Structure 1
Amino acid sequence: MMHVIATNVCMVIRTLVKESAKEIFKSGSVDHPLNSNKVPENECEKLDIIGDTFEHSSIYLFPFIIEYSIIGCAVIYQMWSHIGKNPTYLIFQGDKSEGNPDDLTKHRPYHLDWSSSSVGLFMGLLSLVGLIISLILYFALVNQEKYRLLAVLINNIMDTLINGLMILAMIFGFYQTRKLSLVRSEKDYDIISIISASGIVVYAAFTVIAGMLNQDSLEPSSLVIINGVFEIVEVNIQLLFIADLKQRVVSEANKGEKPGRQTTTYLLMCNLALWVTYNFEIQKGNATPDQSKFYGFLPWVVIQRITLPLCVFFRFHSSVVLTELWKNCYRLKRVE
């Protein structure tokens, strides 16, 4: 099992190095070491549709390879950590007339309760539409010289706005979830969320540093700094909000109100929207001109290729976790 974990780690490193090298050579920032003006190309990929499609789609697909490898590492590690432990089995005893033991494992139909979610769902869909519109405007304007700065500003303003709204929603959510009952959770700390969140924190920290120290910035330095700070604050508050919600459950007294469920729904939709847009952010090299100018093209490409896949995975994983909390925390459990 440790060999499988090591294989997944090697797959992550290989993918990062490969995609970084492709981006560097594509930009022409690295001279070819041979005494030749022509770089040899792989002709088989250029002569057929499959090769050309594969080459152009790899920039969208490589984050999913990293996501799969990280999930594989986490699952295999959990299996490895439980090897050798003696499980406790529940032995069914009793007369056959009292019931069939097969009935204990029979799945009963369960219908999702969508109550107390409409406002959060509506606001989340608005955020999704806003992010998609900003993404479309960016790709439509970035290739036009006189509108390039406008495209970058639209992208950063929308990111700052979404992060700010999520921070306000979570502050309101903390106030609401105080009404839920506290329960003891047997779950360990979510190491996957912490590791992937570090990617967003590192990326945002480099953004803030570039905004503070860059003397010749193309976009307003205050916007770059605020965007990075908001992102760091939002990620940390979201980790705390999820950790707190894991320890709470709805009670009989507030089963109709379901406090905090609107916030959970909104965060779920926002993380899903950011996951979609982050997959396109991988190829938005022109969206960070100040950072690229401050650090240099080569270092900034390496920073992006390491941190952005973790950003993508964090949003995906957060969406899954929030979905489980949305279902389980607000379902009244029957006490036998």
Structure 2
Amino acid sequence: LVASTTHEPLLNDQIRPGLYSAHYLGDVATYLATAVVEFSLIGAAVMFILWKSIDNGTISCGNDAGSERVKRKHRMRVDCSSSSTGLFAGILFLIVTFISIGVHSVFTQLNNSRSAQLAFGLADLALFATSLSACTIGIYRMRMLQFLRRSHGSAEILDEILLMIGLIGELLFCCTGMLLWITKSDENDDEAGEVYVLIVYVVRLLQVLIQTVFMLVAGRLRAHSLEAKEQKPGKQIVTFLLMANVTLFFFYTFESVNASYCHKNVFGTQYIIAHTVAPLIVLYRFHSSVCLAEIWKHCYSVKTASDRAQSNY
């Protein structure tokens, strides 16, 4: 401001550090604000579970049982069989995502915002379509597993609460985006009213709904039969979805720092809703990764019910 009023020229090395530091600090502040919201939601859900189970009775264990439990907790077995294809596909998914982020950054540096938004839109469409196909195949493959009928524990209730909070954020974000597209189409705005934007939101909405149903059902499935224990149907898909949701978590974080391709230069109620639920959609991908990791670990476990009960107590 001083330079503009006195008309004194400044060298590049004098102005660039301040401009770049302000830009990066602004990005970091946006990221940290998202992290604060996620931490607050997780803390509130944990406090609710503690409040809900405060009157529950506890099972006392003897010294031998307690020492056995401690020994078991210090040992962790991970069965990585039937996961190589899903892991490779997940790494490929990660590479494509980083390439799309790089393309967006290049167009942004060239001040070509239209091409940058198009790169984000096409990347979103490809990523969500791939994840939607994986969820559909996973539902079909895991039909061979047995449904476990049991009461919900504290961990399951906590997972479902956080998953529903993230799902609400995704639904609000997608519905806001579709309403914004319809509004811009009525105003004959070619940039925001392109058809691919609506397709992205529809595919994204379907992917989120189907993946949520998939995780809620798959969390109750177990491989009890000998054939299911040997073939492990759907484990490749669960591995891929785990990698995909971790990738989308970082992709959403980058996308929330930068303006979304459909919510750019938009103000008012839709702008407020889109930026308010942005931490929730990041939370959805983060907690989906946690739920899928639990499914990957427990769904195909060869431990019997008695062994699992002893390890829990």
User: TM-score band (shorter)?
Assistant: 0.7 to 0.9
Q: Deviations over 1:74-121 (max 9, x none)?
A: 1111111112222344568xxxxxx77633442263331111111111
More helix by share: 2
135, 138, 156: which one aligns with 1:170: 135
Q: Is the 8 A contact 2:166 2:284 kept in 1?
A: yes
Which residue does 1:333 correspond to in 2? 303
SS in 2 for 1:253: helix
208, 212, 218: which one aligns with 2:182: 212
CA pair 106-222 structure 1, distance change in 2 beyond 3 A: same
SS in 1 for 2:33: helix
CA distance in 1, matches of 2:23, 2:182: 41
Unpaired stretches in structure 2, ≥5 consecutive residues: 1-16, 307-313
Which residue does 2:279 correspond to in 1? 309
My pick for the range that moved more, 101-110 or 204-213, is 101-110
Residue 152 (str. 1) matches residue 125 (str. 2): no
CA distance in 1, matches of 2:172, 2:97: 22
Q: Deviations over 1:252-302 (max 9, x none)?
A: 2221210011111111111000101111111212x42x5445xx4244442
Which residue does 1:321 correspond to in 2? 291
Which residue does 1:266 correspond to in 2? 240
Q: Is the 8 A contact 1:153 1:219 kept in 2?
A: no
Which residue does 1:31 correspond to in 2? none
Q: Deviations over 1:97-148 (max 9, x none)?
A: xx77633442263331111111111111111111111111112212434x32
Task: Report 1 or 2 for greater relative contact order, CA contacts < 8 Å, sequence distance ≥ 6.
Answer: 2
48, 51, 59: which one aligns with 1:77: 48
Unpaired stretches in structure 1, ≥5 consecutive residues: 1-45, 93-98
Please, what TM-score do these two structures have when normalized by structure 2?
0.81
199, 203, 216: which one aligns with 1:226: 199
CA distance in 2, matches of 1:62, 1:121: 31
After superposition, where does 1:40-189 map in structure 2 within 5 Å?
55-90=26-61, 102-107=67-72, 109-145=75-111, 147-187=112-152, 188-189=156-157
Q: Is the 8 A contact 2:90 2:241 kept in 1?
A: yes
CA distance in 2, matches of 1:82, 1:136: 47
Shift of 1:199: 0.8
Please, what TM-score do these two structures have when normalized by structure 1?
0.76
After superposition, where does 1:270-281 map in structure 2 within 5 Å?
270-281=244-255
SS in 2 for 1:331: coil
SS in 2 for 1:194: helix
Q: Is the 8 A contact 1:200 1:310 kept in 2?
A: yes
Which residue does 2:267 correspond to in 1? 297
Shift of 1:303: 2.2
CA distance in 2, matches of 1:152, 1:179: 42
Q: Is the 8 A contact 1:264 1:326 kept in 2?
A: yes
Q: Is the 8 A contact 2:176 2:274 kept in 1?
A: no
Which residue does 2:215 correspond to in 1? 242
CA distance in 2, matches of 1:301, 1:140: 26
CA pair 156-101 structure 1, distance change in 2 beyond 3 A: closer
Shift of 1:335: 4.7
CA distance in 2, matches of 1:259, 1:281: 34
Q: Percent identity?
A: 27
Shift of 1:243: 0.8
Q: Deviations over 1:205-230 (max 9, x none)?
A: 11112223322121562201110011
Query: CA-atom RMSD, angstroms?
Result: 2.5
Which residue does 1:3 correspond to in 2? none
CA pair 185-230 structure 1, distance change in 2 beyond 3 A: farther
SS in 2 for 1:254: helix
CA distance in 1, matches of 2:195, 2:41: 35
Task: Give the number of equivalent residue pairs.
Answer: 279
CA distance in 2, matches of 1:149, 1:101: 62
CA distance in 2, matches of 1:317, 1:100: 33
